[in-house]
Structure 1
């Protein structure tokens, strides 16, 4: 592991370090996080790369500008590049906006003049939450084809059989079933929602969020799923039962996560599957955190979604998603067929990149399981840890054991809250700090602040977070694959600073 990961990393530095396709960005202090969320220009100017749905990559911005100039459009407006003409038109329909749309095969440009009455942000919001984007490698290739000179970056690719390699690894984890690959996990999630809405009877128009799931998944449900019902705690199974008694014949699907983000709580999947059979709805399961190597969930799910960007890739620099339909799935064939128009195919260098990195998926999970176990043991002994969340924690630990392959399947993420002043602990923690997870290096994120800043800063939002058991000061730690000793050493320094501040 590069020793620079355990030294102060400047705000705005890409994570992985030096990587032009990095999906995280260093935010080393609480003030950096707050300034970023408040839109302070001095901090925004430091950030060159970040998770693609958080920040548009410079190459992607330049590609959009290239298309704007090619189409003779004036500067000063908002330009977005999308993977196809259909995608650009579909996002306009979803967002209720009317950009000028130009096809530049295979891409499309959506352009809002400076005096547009529509909100470009509304368009972009749907675009990113539905996964209708291109990413840095594709933009780089496009710019090079236009004669733009860009720095060279060497990385490993699978030039021979990337699709076969990806499918072989995923079948090794999930077993038999149908797998569809796409350009991102969010595109996979949106395609499932859209296909269900398109093919299910009109009276089945309710989608249920079960558990406090990934914030962008919540956004998709709220924006695109017809009637939306939220049950924010997976421990509130009674509320789900009561809702289904009254509305079960109108529910199309329940979306949940094997391990919720960020509390790492497990829903009772066997009980949920029983309800699904009784009332006829689909169980859509995001298995990104648990991974197919730690749990056996195919018997309880109709559709399994995974962001291959995270632990499957393990490098923090490549977007990809997968949809897995188990053999026993009750998903109608018409719905499965309806997925494909909504999917953005995984291709180009992103396909070849993940084809090169996914081969170590199973062994990667074994390493992060070990590291998470060691860190849980360490953090459980720290007097300044106020709460600790992991797969086997008390709230739903026994439920998780019911689907886990064995007692070692922690997964690569844990979350915790410290006693005392958050900023002192966070600022003194010298490991990489920023959004995303699943990288080979450790990565700490001020999760609630970055994912729910608006809620943290409103009384109503604070009440909702408290009701869900989510602290504004929660730190989500992606444990990494390397030796755990340097991570513990960094935590020791941060805890010492926190203790000294209270003395």
Structure 2
């Protein structure tokens, strides 16, 4: 029997219903996936959640279409009317159909008349409202673009919960809910279903002991069955789970923190002297949602102006800046000459909304010159948004140079690869802090599903100790690859020409992260090594286990020549290094390199 990492289409991690990666174990399988070949697509059990619509979401879509849909209609599901409206506008604006397609929103809400009994004083019902955007089936590709770029679609766990509500009659169309409530004006009871869905709503609910947070399975138990939620926070503490996550981020994650320790942290501490707290940390359904909404909030607060994408970015960041709003200037090399050109544009009177960059960049691991970027931003009045997902909070401190720091918590912050999440952090010393704070106070929606927050809180408790080990492993693997004569280039912050820029922001005990990329002198060598590596291979990064992908192939299959202009080779392999024993990883890489 093949090991899980060798099975095309298997979930990574194995047997994980809400996995965020999928096994594409050979170069050929990755090409087959990109080209939609049947032998790959028919085996896909799951996929990266913003690119592959989870089966639980597909099932709920079909249930809603059966009840509300018309022939030849399809649908996308979102957590709020606000997001659904944005999707509707996007489809109408981007559609090539004349006249504009008929796009409608079905708002589904909790049927309060479904349960006539009054809940106990200690309980408050938990429910999930839901919006379905229905559109002609031929507009699916356009709708999928919004789903992918915004990162604001419903999560698979939310879809499972809503499926139960919908089938039970607890989730109904809004006008019907109002009619039912008028006819039966009785207080609601928590909907039926697993006991975990009864909760205390208070953020300040007292946590009396570790067992309050760990539920029926003890902290030391090795049993981890996802559906039981035993090692996660009890649902009664959903708001506390979110608060613990935000305080871990605001507290700079100096040490592993149990949830009760995180909840007891003062909200006045933090990395910046003078008030950086959890109140400046916002949680989002995904890292891309953090970027998408930060861009949206910046346009609302500072005006409808072009932005700048500096350095070769993760694909969807650039797409957001290009497709939403007035467009952007793209500086894919991330060079000093690029900054010279930006300065010249500003000198000539061009007004810029914000500069978006990664620290370091993905997949070339180049660090931008944040000192100069900050100087230009201050001189020419634009904001700076830094995505530090790859560097991560513990290795680098980029907040002093940013107005907003965004991160994908799906990655190394979680590590377990079984939940999505993102964060945005406002710099309280930033020049636009008050304007952004005021905008978020009125426009920010907390669309992060509580059950996902429970998993993220649980996964992130040992973040600090994991990072030190990952840093060490990645440096070792980088050194090993750099010594091989058939390796052309190893991209890693420690060995990059931009290392001085990285070191300028490196924390006192920070390392160079767990991500690296490698190219070989021939495509044949790259394929041979990739196919031979006895590790998991699929999309995503920052996992507790080592994970590789032919990154350019997956991210830019339809634009390989374009990516090559910026030094991103079509046969580049990206490796996200995990927590395995260092000697074990060295042996795996040596066996793979031995085929050359």
Normalised by the length of structure 2, the TM-score is 0.77
User: Does residue 44 of structure 2 align to residue 47 of structure 1?
Assistant: yes
Helix, strand or coil at the partner of 1:213: coil
What's 1:380 paired with? 482
Helix, strand or coil at the partner of 2:50: coil
Q: Does structure 1 retain, via aligned residues, the 8 Å contact 2:332–2:566?
A: yes
For 1:144 and 1:75, the matched residues in 2 are separated by 25
Judge which range, 35-44 or 154-163, deviates more.
154-163
| Shift of residue 165, structure 1, vs aligned partner | 1.4
User: Does residue 563 of structure 2 align to residue 465 of structure 1?
Assistant: yes
User: Does residue 592 of structure 2 align to residue 494 of structure 1?
Assistant: yes
What's 2:337 paired with? 238
For 2:40 and 2:543, the matched residues in 1 are separated by 24
Helix, strand or coil at the partner of 2:541: coil
Q: Does structure 1 retain, via aligned residues, the 8 Å contact 2:309–2:321?
A: yes
Q: 1:124 to 1:338 in 2, by over 3 A?
A: farther
For 2:303 and 2:496, the matched residues in 1 are separated by 40
| Shift of residue 213, structure 1, vs aligned partner | 1.1
| Shift of residue 255, structure 1, vs aligned partner | 0.2
Structure 2: runs of 5+ lacking an equivalent: 96-101, 110-128, 169-192, 195-224, 253-269
Helix, strand or coil at the partner of 1:277: helix
User: Does residue 449 of structure 2 align to residue 453 of structure 1?
Assistant: no
What's 2:581 paired with? 483
| Shift of residue 246, structure 1, vs aligned partner | 2.5
For 2:387 and 2:89, the matched residues in 1 are separated by 27
Q: Match for 2:363 among 259, 262, 278?
A: 262
For the aligned residues, what is the CA RMSD?
Answer: 2.2
What's 1:169 paired with? 248
Q: 1:33 to 1:344 in 2, by over 3 A?
A: farther
Q: Match for 2:160 among 127, 140, 147?
A: 140
For 2:226 and 2:455, the matched residues in 1 are separated by 16
For 2:400 and 2:450, the matched residues in 1 are separated by 34
Normalised by the length of structure 1, the TM-score is 0.91
Structure 1: runs of 5+ lacking an equivalent: 457-461
Residues 451-499 of structure 1, C-alpha deviation per residue, up to 9 Å, x if partnerless? Answer: 000012xxxxx1x3232111111111110122132222222222112x2
| Shift of residue 342, structure 1, vs aligned partner | 5.3
Q: Match for 1:356 among 458, 463, 466?
A: 458
For 1:41 and 1:91, the matched residues in 2 are separated by 30
Q: Does structure 2 retain, via aligned residues, the 8 Å contact 1:312–1:361?
A: yes
What's 1:79 paired with? 75
1:109-124 pair list within 5 angstroms:
109-114=132-137, 119-124=139-144
Q: Does structure 1 retain, via aligned residues, the 8 Å contact 2:74–2:135?
A: yes
Q: Match for 2:30 among 30, 33, 39?
A: 33
What's 1:417 paired with? 519
Helix, strand or coil at the partner of 2:107: strand
Of structures 1 and 2, the one scoring higher in RCO (CA 8 A, sep 6+) is: 1
Q: Match for 1:442 among 546, 553, 558?
A: 546
What's 1:19 paired with? 16
User: Does residue 290 of structure 2 align to residue 229 of structure 1?
Assistant: no
What's 1:94 paired with? 90
Q: Does structure 2 retain, via aligned residues, the 8 Å contact 1:12–1:27?
A: yes
For 2:315 and 2:474, the matched residues in 1 are separated by 23
For 2:147 and 2:446, the matched residues in 1 are separated by 12
Helix, strand or coil at the partner of 1:134: coil
Helix, strand or coil at the partner of 1:439: coil
| Shift of residue 344, structure 1, vs aligned partner | 4.8
| Shift of residue 346, structure 1, vs aligned partner | 1.6
Helix, strand or coil at the partner of 2:308: strand
Q: 1:371 to 1:75 in 2, by over 3 A?
A: farther
For 1:182 and 1:306, the matched residues in 2 are separated by 10
Q: Match for 2:285 among 183, 187, 192?
A: 183
| Shift of residue 324, structure 1, vs aligned partner | 0.5
For 2:433 and 2:462, the matched residues in 1 are separated by 34
Q: Does structure 1 retain, via aligned residues, the 8 Å contact 2:5–2:23?
A: no
Judge which range, 187-196 or 157-166, deviates more.
157-166
Q: 1:344 to 1:50 in 2, by over 3 A?
A: farther
1:294-305 pair list within 5 angstroms:
294-305=395-406
For 2:293 and 2:547, the matched residues in 1 are separated by 29
Q: 1:408 to 1:380 in 2, by over 3 A?
A: farther
Residues 361-404 of structure 1, C-alpha deviation per residue, up to 9 Å, x if partnerless? Answer: 12121111111111112111111211000111232112211111
User: Does residue 331 of structure 2 align to residue 331 of structure 1?
Assistant: no
What's 1:459 paired with? none
Q: Does structure 2 retain, via aligned residues, the 8 Å contact 1:370–1:408?
A: no
| Shift of residue 78, structure 1, vs aligned partner | 1.9
For 1:66 and 1:109, the matched residues in 2 are separated by 11
User: Does residue 256 of structure 2 align to residue 157 of structure 1?
Assistant: no
- The structure with the larger Rg is 2
Judge which range, 479-488 or 402-411, deviates more.
402-411
Helix, strand or coil at the partner of 1:226: coil
Q: 1:147 to 1:489 in 2, by over 3 A?
A: farther
For 1:147 and 1:123, the matched residues in 2 are separated by 25
Helix, strand or coil at the partner of 1:250: coil
Q: Count matched residues.
A: 482
Q: Match for 1:346 among 442, 448, 454?
A: 448
For 2:437 and 2:286, the matched residues in 1 are separated by 18
Residues 94-137 of structure 1, C-alpha deviation per residue, up to 9 Å, x if partnerless? Answer: 232542321112111122244x5xx2211220122112201111
For 2:529 and 2:478, the matched residues in 1 are separated by 18
Judge which range, 407-416 or 257-266, deviates more.
407-416
For 2:298 and 2:486, the matched residues in 1 are separated by 46
